[in-house]
Amino acid sequence: FDAVDIIRIKRDKGVLSPAQIDWTIDAYTRGAIADEQMAALNMAILLNGMDRAEISRWTAAMIASGERMDFSSLRRPDGSVKPTSDKHSTGGVGDKITLPLAPLVAVFGVAVPQLSGRGLGHTGGTLDKLEAIPGWRAALSNEEMLAQLQDVGAVICAAGAGLAPADKKLYALRDVTGTVEAIPLIASSIMSKKIAEGTGSLVLDVKVGSGAFMKDEARARELAETMVALGKDAGVNTVALLTNMNTPLGLTAGNAIEVEESVEVLAGGGPDDVVELTVRLAEEMLACAGVRDADPRAALRDGRAMDVWNRMIEAQGGDPRAALPVARESDVIYAPADGVLVELDAMAVGVAAWRLGAGRARKEDQVQAGAGVRMHAKPGALVRAGEPLMTLLTDTPEKFERARDALEHAVVIAPEGSRPAQRLMIDRI
């Protein structure tokens, strides 16, 4: 095959054959297709799309570029095979759900191999959050991961370099060529990693709204349907929820402060939306894994989920009881008027948290563990002029000004009696 011919086919709205797709992914991973050629092909795919068969083959070729993990040796105490289930969120602001969810699902005898990433841009990364815990480490070997899944039942760690290496190279290229937003490329990127990871079932939390990748519901639905089809084709029991990301989840966006809120949820408290989404996703994961009659809410109330959390953190070198880092400086934003808080924009809060040091602009940047935004009211709350709405946290106070700029239009306060147009659950696919 010739890379230029393949680019021309997609440029002219044609369909690539399975052999052409296999060759393309393999040649690019080996360095036989140049970045500029792959960039041109990605742009043609973004503009002209791919059909389901092409997306499916593209995903399979990315899986074949690396190793596949295998959890079939995991056993329950009675000797039966331990089912596995994983969750993937397309990313949002204040989305710390993985932290309480993984131990919660493990309570019911389902192993949760949660491979996670770091934050880039305004959405946070699960690994950055957990690294706020003194001693905790993200990097585990495959053997350590398997042992922890057997003993503790839940692991949250970094994906190893061997998993879908084609995607690592391709994602970095898409990032700098304006081609991240293509649904076939997003769906194949996410699903290649999840299928290669070897989970038996998967629940996708596809975010919709200002703080999400997908701003509108129709595109989010198309992404969700594409990913569910890819999962099912590969024998992974997959469902997707569409959930709202117009406002942050919970009352915190940052690293240590999100761990603190997650621990509140594990202790049976925490903000309603975080609890609701954690429980709903747990129910979906357990159903996908074939577990019936589980009551996740009870496991949050009675300490079983917290026990698994403590063991999971300790198994990765962390001290779950250690004090979390606290930002050195804080700055309060007050309500400008009396009324009902009807909007608190997720994107604005995400950008503010990022600018305060919770996130990174470049892959090599360090994040500040204590930085972020603590919210004091959620949409629907009655507020009074002069009341604190948000506290900005950072170690570097020169960052306050640009964080405040990001929040300039983040808040809408309407007359008393108004209701915010927010529902957390949008649909299930």
Closest separation in Å from C-beta 289 to ligand URA: 23
Closest separation in Å from C-beta 341 to ligand URA: 30
Annotated catalytic residue within 193, 221, 374, 378: 193
Catalytic residue check, 88? yes
Q: Which is nearer to ligand URA, 89 or 201 (CB)?
A: 89
Which regions of 126-277 does DSSP assign to beta strands (E)? 154-158, 201-208, 237-244, 252-254
The region that residue 178 occupies, defined by phi over 0 for left and psi between -120 and 50 for alpha, beta otherwise, is left
Please check whether residue 101 is in contact with residue 128, taking contact to mean a CB–CB distance below 8 angstroms: no
Which one-letter amino acid corresponds to residue 141? Answer: S
Annotated catalytic residue within 87, 174, 304, 355: 174
Distances (CA, A) of 406 to 212, 222, 229, 255: 16, 30, 38, 19
User: d(Cα 349, Cα 119) in Å, to the nearest integer?
Assistant: 15
Distance of CA 164 to the CA centre of its chain: 18
Q: Which is nearer to ligand URA, 7 or 62 (CB)?
A: 62
Annotated catalytic residue within 57, 87, 88, 355: 88
Closest separation in Å from C-beta 277 to ligand URA: 19
Q: Which is nearer to ligand URA, 51 or 181 (CB)?
A: 181
Catalytic residue check, 376? no
Closest separation in Å from C-beta 186 to ligand URA: 4
List CB contacts of 55: < 8 A, sequence separation 6 or more: 184, 187, 188, 226, 230
Catalytic residue check, 167? yes
Closest separation in Å from C-beta 110 to ligand URA: 23
Annotated catalytic residue within 86, 167, 205, 345: 167
Q: Which is nearer to ligand URA, 125 or 325 (CB)?
A: 125
Other CB atoms within a 10 A radius of the CB of residue 306 amount to 21
Please check whether residue 57 is in contact with residue 196, taking contact to mean a CB–CB distance below 8 angstroms: no
Closest separation in Å from C-beta 75 to ligand URA: 31
List CB contacts of 89: < 8 A, sequence separation 6 or more: 95, 97, 98, 204, 205, 207
Helix (H, G, I), strand (E, B) or coil at 260: helix
SS (H, E, C) 71-108: CCCCECCCCCECCEEEEEECCCCCCCCHHHHHHHHHCC
Closest separation in Å from C-beta 180 to ligand URA: 6
Q: Which is nearer to ligand URA, 194 or 304 (CB)?
A: 194
User: d(Cα 136, Cα 23) in Å, to the nearest integer?
Assistant: 40
Q: Which is nearer to ligand URA, 48 or 391 (CB)?
A: 48
Which residue of the chain is nearest ligand URA when measured via CB? 189
Structure tokens, 424: 């957390």
Distance in angstroms between the alpha carbons of the first and the last residue of the chain:
38
Closest separation in Å from C-beta 188 to ligand URA: 8
CA diameter of the chain: 67
Q: Which is nearer to ligand URA, 108 or 213 (CB)?
A: 213
Q: Which is nearer to ligand URA, 172 or 322 (CB)?
A: 172
Chain residues binding ligand URA by CB under 6 A are: 171, 180, 185-186, 189-190
Annotated catalytic residue within 85, 89, 188, 189: 189
Please check whether residue 283 is in contact with residue 303, taking contact to mean a CB–CB distance below 8 angstroms: no
Give the residue numbers annotated as catalytic, written as ranges: 88, 167, 174, 189, 193
